Amino acid sequence: MPALEHMNQILHILFVFLPFLWALGTLPPPDALFLWAMEQVLEFGLGGSSMSTHLRLLVMFIMSAGTAIASYFIPSTVGVVLFMTGFGFLLSLNLSDMGHKIGTKSKDLPSGPEKHFSWKECLFYIIILVLALLETSLLHHFAGFSQISKSSSQAIVGYGLMILLIILWILREIQSVYIIGIFRNPFYPKDVQTVTVFFEKQTRLMKIGIVRRILLTLVSPFAMIAFLSLDSSLQGLHSVSVCIGFTRAFRMVWQNTENALLETVIVSTVHLISSTDIWWNRSLDTGIRLLLVGIIRDRLIQFVSKLQFAVTVLLTSWTEKKQRRKTTATLCILNIVFSPFVLVIIVFSTLLSSPLLPLFTLPVFLVGFPRPIQSWPGAAGTTACVCADTVYYYQMVPRLTAVLQTAMAAGSLGLLLPGSHYLGRFQDRLIWIMILECGYTYCSINIKGLELQETSCHTAEARRVDEVFEDAFEQEYTRVCSLNEHFGNVLTPCTVLPVKLYSDARNVLSGIIDSHENLKEFKGDLIKVLVWILVQYCSKRPGMKENVHNAENKGKAPLILPALNTSPPPKSPEDIDSLNSETFNDWSDDNIFDDEPTIKKVIEEEHQLKDLPGTNLFIPGSVESQRVGDHSTGTVPENDLYKAVLLGYPAVDKGKQEDMPYIPLMEFSCSHSHLVCLPAEWRTTCMPSSKMKEMSSLFPEDWYQFVLRQLECYHSEEKASNVLEEIAKDKVLKDFYVHTVMTCYFSLFGIDNMAPSPGHILRVYSGVLPWSVALDWLTEKPELFQLAVKAFRYTLKLMIDKASLGPIEDFRELIKYLEEYERDWYIGLVSDEKWKEAILQEKPYLFSLGYDSNMVSKNVEIQRPGENLESTK
């Protein structure tokens, strides 16, 4: 057969060049060749799109090929048209994602709005499908078929498609900052720095975008279905070419509406202005014409893009100093002399739809091997490098995806094609966006981020990107249609996207953190912040309200607290022996209703607490009771025996008598004091009573009472003020807070209570406290340790705010500051896990303190205002 002979000759010539193609890297590996071939057939032969994963590509190829084959065996012309229309619409949807949404949302959110929205979406698709099938069947059955002429019904629909294409093109170009990348759009906001003006004009453009969206997703597909249904090629018995061509055409109507509209208008226009006797009109049906026009359109776009890339590499190899080499001039001359050969390489790369590769970034071009658009192994994002900056992109991606969806629907990003790349820029963030897959009302993208710790190369590259953005968005142009100064650059500015993300503000604290006046106020403010944080913590502890309810029902639950200003009572010989025989660190408080308090001592070798059975400690002022069997006898009820708390004191050598603090029994004067009572393990102290008595004068009692009166812990508003007043006047509760607050204060500053230095503040802010006995006591209580460090950090932020904004006038203003820190700020270290959690929770403001060897100190304040992310293509 002549065809086989010709094929044999072609293959003999091709096999000779295979080693040469392999050496140049043009010969693809089998897996890449197989996937590339499937993608090309799916996109141009079957009307599909490039897929985001290899598995999706394989499944979609099989389903699309099966649709084309099945249409050949349907005997009815109406059945064929309905079959092509229905499956063309269904295959253009993201069916896997829709199924995942319905399945997961109906299971995880049984009553949420997301489930309702997904069913509304499905209902919308069902209505569109029914209307498309109804339109196709009616037009195909009742309309008359004739060749395209100026008066035929198909020609009239073609005229409408031409008008629709022009309108859509105008509405799309209005959305971008430049019209066709050359002239500045007069309707686009001139200065994006003026936020209110920018959002007003952006809102107007979005309204135009809604009109464009309706025309693109609802009007255009039905108009093209009408054009295809009226074609005479579908009237008679269908052939293989008709099945392939129209299967692709009915699929492209939904899969890529803009390209399908352009191809349909071109075919209709050529048929109207050309003679009916030419080969194009005589031998080819409309489906095959659309297929060929689609291939020509895609290859023409690729050729222009690769030619621009080659010219850019050639010019920058000479104009850029870092790219200029000794051989650059020679290579430029050779490219000019052998320009026809270079054009052949570009054309060959375009025909194969393969990359154009500059050898070692030199203007020496080779043809890369053909590969699919998704050329990396695995799903997108599996090979991402996770670093400290990743969390900022995690926070940004959901919001960025939402605004990208709006921008794509409005046409702000231009014509969406799989394989297109976009670049987003905001401060030190650089985002790379790639379109992987497109379909009816959906687009699959891949978002990559550049690490924030930029190298010198990153800085230079980012500076060039910033120049393009600044000229496009930050300069005011007096002329109506200014020219794009960077026309011909590989980056074409598109639009500005309003995205909520974190901005970085670094300030030097010299003059604030080393000011003696600020440091003096810092110590006093720290005690106040400690009081506020502890009161807030205790009032919000789970179970506190239940304890109050129980206290109201059962009566008072008294507590014991060591007095600060009492002298030791007379000691009996039994007391002296019992107290001096061992050093006791704590009293047992397992059951506040025990008749006989048992004693626990610390066995340092075993680090365990053991009970000492049969040991009784005389408590001054208590009533002795005796145990008879399992019952106790005494002169007071069981619930009047109080829990004793013995404080830890410095160790005493045996045989020496030291003044031990007198521990009288004291009870809360208000039964509701349990609501803000400190945990039992925090009530001990390691400070000598003389030191504690000396420093208790620093405790701000008026602030303590004010904080308690501001609590909102009660359901009954009538008695709330009276109850809070009683709690504020409870001296026992106050002494608890005095002990805990002052012990934490000593832990943060040391036992000597020296004035802090900037280095000391930085170390404590980082969680490195100076060693002292109080520190050992504090580190045994991790939760209290975290609260103390938190109070220190809040106080530092308060000191900076006071130095920047002025002094605080009264307690209410201080409360507002602290509530704002608690609600809107995360104040900590960048390396903390809670820092990442705060970013993902989108705390409005983040604050951290760091040290620069070239400066005294600096703070990093990261805010989350409504900022603009600039996008380019």
pTM equals 0.74
pLDDT for position 543: 53
In terms of domains, do 547 and 564 share one?
Answer: no
Is the pLDDT reported for residue 696 higher than 70?
A: yes
Q: Which tens digit of pLDDT belongs to each residue from 637-654? A: 333 333 333 333 344 444
Cα(124)–Cα(118) distance, integer angstroms: 10
Is the separation of the CB atoms in 849 and 796 below 8 Å?
yes
DSSP H stretches of helix in 540-632? 544-554, 573-581
Question: Mean per-residue pLDDT for 237-242?
Answer: 79
Question: Cα–Cα distances in Å, from 869 out to 73, 396, 473, 842?
Answer: 53, 11, 11, 17
Question: What's the pLDDT band for 588 if we cut at 50, 70, 90?
Answer: very low
Question: What's the pLDDT band for 622 if we cut at 50, 70, 90?
Answer: very low
Is the pLDDT reported for residue 867 higher than 50?
A: yes
Copy the structure tokens of residue 91: 């295959």
In terms of domains, do 657 and 694 share one?
Answer: no
Question: Mean per-residue pLDDT for 498-520?
Answer: 83
Question: What's the pLDDT band for 480 if we cut at 50, 70, 90?
Answer: low
Question: What's the pLDDT band for 562 if we cut at 50, 70, 90?
Answer: very low
Residue 836 lies in a domain: yes
R_g of the chain, CA atoms, integer Å: 40
The H helix count followed by the E strand count for the chain is: 29, 18
Cα(845)–Cα(225) distance, integer angstroms: 53
Is the pLDDT reported for residue 19 higher than 80?
A: yes
List beta partners, residue 443: 438
pLDDT for position 145: 55
Domain count, the chain: 3
Residue 618 lies in a domain: yes
In terms of domains, do 650 and 768 share one?
Answer: no
Domain enclosing residue 621, as ranges: 558-667
In terms of domains, do 772 and 695 share one?
Answer: yes
Question: Mean per-residue pLDDT for 229-249?
Answer: 84
Q: Pick the closest to residue 574 from 624, 615, 634, 626 (CA basis).
A: 615
Whose tokens are 């019992």? That residue is 578
Residue 644 lies in a domain: yes
Cα(316)–Cα(333) distance, integer angstroms: 14
Residue 520 lies in a domain: yes
Cα(848)–Cα(845) distance, integer angstroms: 10
Is the separation of the CB atoms in 47 and 255 below 8 Å?
yes
In terms of domains, do 602 and 727 share one?
Answer: no
Is the pLDDT reported for residue 332 higher than 80?
A: yes
In terms of domains, do 648 and 582 share one?
Answer: yes
Is the pLDDT reported for residue 109 higher than 90?
A: no
- Buried b / exposed e along 238-276 (16+ C-beta atoms within 10 A): beeebbbbbbbbbbbbbbbbbbbbbbbbbbbeebeeeee
Question: Mean per-residue pLDDT for 591-607?
Answer: 33
In terms of domains, do 696 and 658 share one?
Answer: no
Looking at residue 558, the DSSP 8-state letter turns out to be -
Look at residues 243, 273, 303 and tell me which one is the last residue of a structural domain: 303
In terms of domains, do 582 and 534 share one?
Answer: no
Is the separation of the CB atoms in 756 and 777 below 8 Å?
no
Question: Mean per-residue pLDDT for 418-437?
Answer: 87
DSSP H stretches of helix in 431-587? 456-473, 516-539, 544-554, 573-581
Is the pLDDT reported for residue 656 higher than 70?
A: no
Is the separation of the CB atoms in 47 and 252 below 8 Å?
yes
Is the separation of the CB atoms in 789 and 780 below 8 Å?
no
In terms of domains, do 647 and 705 share one?
Answer: no
Copy the structure tokens of residue 264: 């349909």
Is the pLDDT reported for residue 542 higher than 70?
A: no
Q: Which tens digit of pLDDT belongs to each residue from 729-752? A: 778 888 888 888 888 888 888 766
Looking at residue 185, the DSSP 8-state letter turns out to be P
Residue 674 lies in a domain: no
pLDDT for position 280: 80
In terms of domains, do 140 and 47 share one?
Answer: yes
Residue 393 lies in a domain: no
Question: Mean per-residue pLDDT for 367-388?
Answer: 77
Residue 780 lies in a domain: yes
Whose tokens are 């599909």? That residue is 48
Question: Mean per-residue pLDDT for 260-288?
Answer: 86
Residue 428 lies in a domain: no
pLDDT for position 202: 83
Backbone angles phi, psi at 504, to 5 degrees: -105, 125
Is the pLDDT reported for residue 206 higher than 70?
A: yes
Q: Which tens digit of pLDDT belongs to each residue from 803-828? A: 888 888 889 999 999 999 999 999 99
Range of weakest confidence among 18-22, 404-408, 814-818: 18-22
pLDDT for position 97: 67
Question: Mean per-residue pLDDT for 771-791?
Answer: 86
Copy the structure tokens of residue 604: 């340092």
pLDDT for position 576: 34
List beta partners, residue 867: 499
Question: What's the pLDDT band for 151 if we cut at 50, 70, 90?
Answer: low
In terms of domains, do 777 and 661 share one?
Answer: no
Question: Mean per-residue pLDDT for 589-608?
Answer: 33
Look at residues 303, 324, 350 and tell me which one is the last residue of a structural domain: 303
Cα(851)–Cα(859) distance, integer angstroms: 8
Range of weakest confidence among 193-207, 482-496, 539-553: 539-553
The secondary element (H helix, E strand) that includes residue 540 is: none
In terms of domains, do 580 and 621 share one?
Answer: yes
Question: What's the pLDDT band for 300 if we cut at 50, 70, 90?
Answer: very high
Is the pLDDT reported for residue 56 higher than 80?
A: yes
Residue type for 250, please? F
